[in-house]
Amino acid sequence: MVLPDDEFEFFFDKPWSDGLPVVIPTEERIEDMLTGVDRNPNGVIGEVPPANEVMTVHAVAVHAVMAGCRAEYFSGLVAALEAVLEPPFNINGIQATMHSCAPLTIFNGSYGKEIGLHGGSGCFGPGFRANATIGRAIRLILMNLGGGIPGVTSMSTFSQPSRYTYCIRENEEDSPWEPLSVTRGYRTEEDTVTAVACENPKLIFDDISKDPETLLAGPADAVAYLGCMNALRRTDLVFAISPDHAKICADAGWSKADVHAYLCEKAGKTLGELKVGGGYTEDRIQDLPIKVDLENDNFFVPTIKDQDDLMIIVAGGIPGPISAFMHGWNGASRPVTRKIYLQDEA
């Protein structure tokens, strides 16, 4: 069916369209978006691989308008993009891989709360404009300035729904522990965004357990299955624990570090179990930062190869007897945290 002229059709026809309607980026809307940050519109933030188009502040504003952002989201979006472009994050590789991972951005601090970024009930799903549109603006930029278009430079076999948008805030209000930003060396009053390349959230339901050891037995098992990259490689892992589950741990006197240590110790497979999975090769095991006795099939190989690879956040609403794991990519990307500079401090 040939559609008559409709301003929205112009954008749908672009090869970098994510397939959803955009807000038409008129000059007026772009100007308004640029008021959200105290930076020169011509200032260069970086180049977006693999196409390496130059990303100026103005170019970010155009995509922010199209994604549906409000002007007050703009500082956070710019910081998130800066994190994604840091070399250790290796967005070049993520853009091209056959894997499905997407940059998850996690916000900490009062700024996220003020702009309505949601970390409570349903935070990984639809219904929250800040989450939906900041995440989407990142994706539109990766497609349009970076050329990360399926079948063109993106060779992802399946891709994944979180490549539409993947942006949350940590639920600091309902957390018994220090926020992720503090764990990563920032001060409580600092606003930060952390980017990490990972899979979709994988749920672990438990509405029975009353103590941390029983509660975490499920997650420790669920994280170790043979299909994930983490089974045979050193890579990132995000554990989103719901406030209810975090409370069970905290009430028993467990700190976030205790949960962290428990998962690092308990999650894993024996070498014999790894050997029968199709992805196994000896050199992959020899490359690990831990020494594995290749003759001993009972040798326990932890899923989390280095304790720095596990990131724990509190997310989701109350009630919520669920936690979630997000497995990492192939180890070629490392998480990056950036401070968000707001207008009054700039």
Partner 1 sequence: MSSNFFFDKPWSDGLPVIPPTEKRVVRMLMGTSRSEEESVGAIPPVFEATKVRDVAVHAVMAGCRPEYLPVVLAGIEAMLDKCFGLNGLQGSGNSSAPLLIVNGFYAQEIGLHGGRGCFGPGFRANATIGRAIRLMLMNLCGGIPGVVSMVTFGQPSKYIFCVAENEVESPWEPFSVSRGYGVGDNVVIVVACENPQLVVDNYARNPEQLFVSIADTMSHLGCWNQWVCSDLVLAFSPQQAAICVDLIRNEVRHRLCELAGRRLGELKRAGQYRMEWMEDLPFEVDLKDDNFFVPVVKDFDDLRINVAGESPGPHSAVMHGWNGGSRAVSRMYSV
Which residues between 40 and 99 bind partner 1 (CB under 8 A)? 67-68, 98-99
Interatomic CA distance for residues 321 and 224, integer angstroms: 20
Cβ proximity to partner 1: between 276 and 346 the closer is 276
Stretch of 34-42, 269-277, 287-295, 338-346 contacting partner 1, by CB under 8 A: 269-277
Does residue 262 bind partner 1 (CB under 8 A)?
Answer: no
Cβ proximity to partner 1: between 71 and 85 the closer is 71
Interatomic CA distance for residues 291 and 285, integer angstroms: 9
Cβ proximity to partner 1: between 266 and 338 the closer is 266
Stretch of 38-46, 71-79, 158-166, 257-265 contacting partner 1, by CB under 8 A: 158-166
Interatomic CA distance for residues 34 and 74, integer angstroms: 8
Please name the residues in contact with 255: beta carbons below 8 A apart, sequence gap of 6 or more: 177
CB 317 within 8 A of CB 244: no
Contacting partner 1 within 189-248 (CB under 8 A): 199-209, 214-215, 217-219, 221-229, 240, 242
Least gap, CB of 240 to partner 1 (angstroms): 7
Does residue 319 bind partner 1 (CB under 8 A)?
Answer: yes
How many C-beta atoms surround the C-beta of residue 334 within 10 A? Answer: 18
Cβ proximity to partner 1: between 44 and 98 the closer is 98
Q: Which residue has the tokens 């003759």?
A: 295
Contacting partner 1 within 100-139 (CB under 8 A): 100, 102, 120-133, 136, 139
In the set 74, 166, 186, 262, which binds partner 1 (CB under 8 A)? 166
In the set 92, 108, 154, 192, which binds partner 1 (CB under 8 A)? 154
Least gap, CB of 51 to partner 1 (angstroms): 15
Least gap, CB of 281 to partner 1 (angstroms): 6
49 exposure class (CB count in 10 Å sphere: 0-12, 13-18, 19+): buried
Least gap, CB of 164 to partner 1 (angstroms): 5
Beta bridge mates, 269: 301
Pairing of strands 322-327, 202-205: antiparallel
Three-state DSSP state, 302: strand
Helices and strands per DSSP (H, E), number in the chain: 13, 12
